[in-house]
Amino acid sequence: MKTRPGICQRKRRYATREEAEAVALHADVTLRAYKCALCKQFHLTSRTKGLRVPRPPLRPSS
Ligand SMILES: [Zn+2]
């Protein structure tokens, strides 16, 4: 997924995916955390359609 520099600079950055998802839980809309290729941190996006976010199998039980 390509991230435009303008988007990156405007968006709130989170150091970890956990932090970003914690914020997303309290949002009024469905947000998704993704790692930014530019700043190597995490942003939240409300665009969930067609967004492929490969998750590492950290929790096999889920
Ligand atoms: Zn970024």
The per-residue pLDDT for range 23-45, each reduced to its tens digit, is: 999 999 999 999 999 999 999 99
Q: Cα dist. 1→7, 18, 22, 41, 44 in Å?
A: 13, 20, 22, 14, 14
Q: Cα dist. 58→3, 54, 62 in Å?
A: 25, 12, 9
Task: Tell how far the Cα of 19 is from the centroid of ligand 1, in angstroms.
Answer: 15
The three-point CA angle 31-19-58 to 5° equals 90
For the chain, domain boundaries? 5-45
Please indicate, yes or no, whether the overall pTM of this predicted structure exceeds 0.85: no
* CB-CB contact of 23 with 44 (8 Å): yes
Whether residue 4 has pLDDT greater than 90: no
At residue 62, the pLDDT reads 62
Separation of first and last alpha carbons in the chain: 25
Confidence of residue 7 (pLDDT cuts 50, 70, 90): confident
Task: Tell how far the Cα of 20 is from the centroid of ligand 1, in angstroms.
Answer: 12
What is the per-residue pLDDT across 12-23, written as a single tens digit (0 to 9) for each?
Answer: 999 999 999 999
